[in-house]
Amino acid sequence: MLMLNKAAGVFYKPSRRKTYEFLRSFNFHPGQLFLHKLVLGIETSCDDTAAAVVDETGNVLGEAIHSQTEVHLKTGGIVPPVAQQLHRENIQRIVQEALSTSKVSPSELSAIATTVKPGLALSLGVGLSFSLQLVDQLKKPFIPIHHMEAHALTIRLLNKVEFPFLVLLISGGHCLLALVRGVSDFLLLGKSLDIAPGDMLDKVARRLSLVKHPECSTMSGGKAIEHLAKQGHKLHFDFKPPMQRAKNCDFSFTGLQHVIDKIITQKEKEEGIQKGQILSSAAHIAAAVQHTTACHIAKRTHRAILFCKQRDLLPQSKAVLVVSGGVASNLYIRKALEIVTNATQCTLLCPPPRLCTDNGIMIA
């Protein structure tokens, strides 16, 4: 706690006056008596400001989220100081909205849980500082939360998933495979050696200037690739999945991104267009990169399942693969993983898209 307080001092710290005003704004008296413990979850690890109230039985009583996607689309990517400022502007409103929706006053909370790692330091600092002020004023327990562990365990809100199970976390900032043996017991099997798949898809979308495409102008990079890929042919370009000879469960996406950059540059020359204009083959490139990414992720996951089953780390029957994170909402990639789980007699479980992306519910 001392270490967290020390870290919080470097970042944004709301004034005591603002904190008191925030707490005084709750003057309602709920009509029900809460018999369960109530946890407020706060998430600010990247570019979404989110909060939720969840009880110990898993009931979501209220949630709120503010997405920064529209702002970051204009800058071509997440700018940490901009993300930090947007968190500062919205965190009090989002927490207040989550509490008001749940009909829970701050004094009725049993604890406050907040993401403390991993993520953008400037963004994390806003949520951490705000939470510590609340903890200090309300005299409630503080629960530091690991962002990736929260993603991994979210599925247990919706399904009766028994330990152990395999989890694949794929997002714009992370890519890893882990065996989940307990609530805080994880065995890391593989991770990206460079960038995350969501980051790579975003970079390809920016290189293709899909924000200028009339159908994709309001979409994030990954969503734009998935949308445009439906209009293209996945085998029009022959991109090879990375690390085909590597005898481990790690991932790599930088090499694939460089190959695609070269293809785009070559096609721009062939079509006689400037960088920043839309290629006629953009849909084919989107389809090919999505297909290659799906194949790479599926093959590495297949290796992990076989490894775990050979060593009796997973049940031989009724083994479960949980896939979460923003990229897990890509239906093409999800279908590739479904082929793998069908072939290995595993059950594939994915949270709904709103719980795949960053949210306050998974933290609470």
Q: What share of the chain is helix, strand, coil (3-state, %, to 5)?
A: 50, 20, 35
CA distances from 11 to 21, 85, 122, 135 (A): 21, 11, 7, 17
Lowest mean pLDDT among 16-20, 158-162, 178-182, 216-220: 16-20
Lowest mean pLDDT among 31-35, 198-202, 279-283, 345-349: 31-35
71 has a pLDDT exceeding 80: no
pLDDT number for residue 330: 94
3 has a pLDDT exceeding 50: no
Q: Do domains 36-140 and 165-352 have the same CATH topology?
A: yes
Domain 165-352 architecture: 2-Layer Sandwich (3.30)
pLDDT number for residue 13: 65
Read off the pLDDT band of 7 (50, 70, 90).
Answer: very low
By residue count, the chain amounts to 364
**Mean pLDDT score across all residues of the chain:** 90
25 has a pLDDT exceeding 70: no
Read off the pLDDT band of 257 (50, 70, 90).
Answer: very high
pLDDT number for residue 16: 66
Q: Could you count the other beta carbons within 10 Å of the beta carbon of residue 102?
A: 25
pLDDT number for residue 346: 97
128 has a pLDDT exceeding 60: yes
Which residue spans within the chain are E strands per DSSP? 38-43, 48-55, 60-67, 111-117, 142-146, 165-170, 175-182, 185-191, 319-324, 346-349
pLDDT number for residue 197: 97
- Contact, 304 vs 344, CB < 8 A? no
pLDDT number for residue 24: 63
Pick the residue with more confidence: 92 or 316?
92
pTM score, whole prediction: 0.85
Q: CA-to-CA distance for 169 and 178, rounded, in angstroms?
A: 8
Domain limits, the chain = 36-140, 165-352
The domain 36-140: what is its CATH number? Answer: 3.30.420.40
Read off the pLDDT band of 326 (50, 70, 90).
Answer: confident
Q: Where are the alpha helices (DSSP H) in 208-281?
A: 221-229, 254-271
CA distances from 22 to 50, 122, 137 (A): 17, 23, 11
Task: Enter the DSSP assignment of 160.
Answer: -
129 has a pLDDT exceeding 60: yes
Mean pLDDT of 264-286: 94
pLDDT number for residue 26: 60
pLDDT number for residue 47: 87
362 has a pLDDT exceeding 50: yes
How would you classify residue 311: left for phi > 0, otherwise alpha for psi between -120 and 50, otherwise beta? alpha
Long-range contacts of 200-205 (CB under 8 A, 24+ apart): 200/253, 200/254, 200/256, 200/257, 200/293, 201/225, 201/289, 201/290, 201/293, 201/327, 202/77, 202/172, 203/257, 204/257, 204/260, 204/285, 204/286, 204/289
Mean pLDDT of 264-278: 92
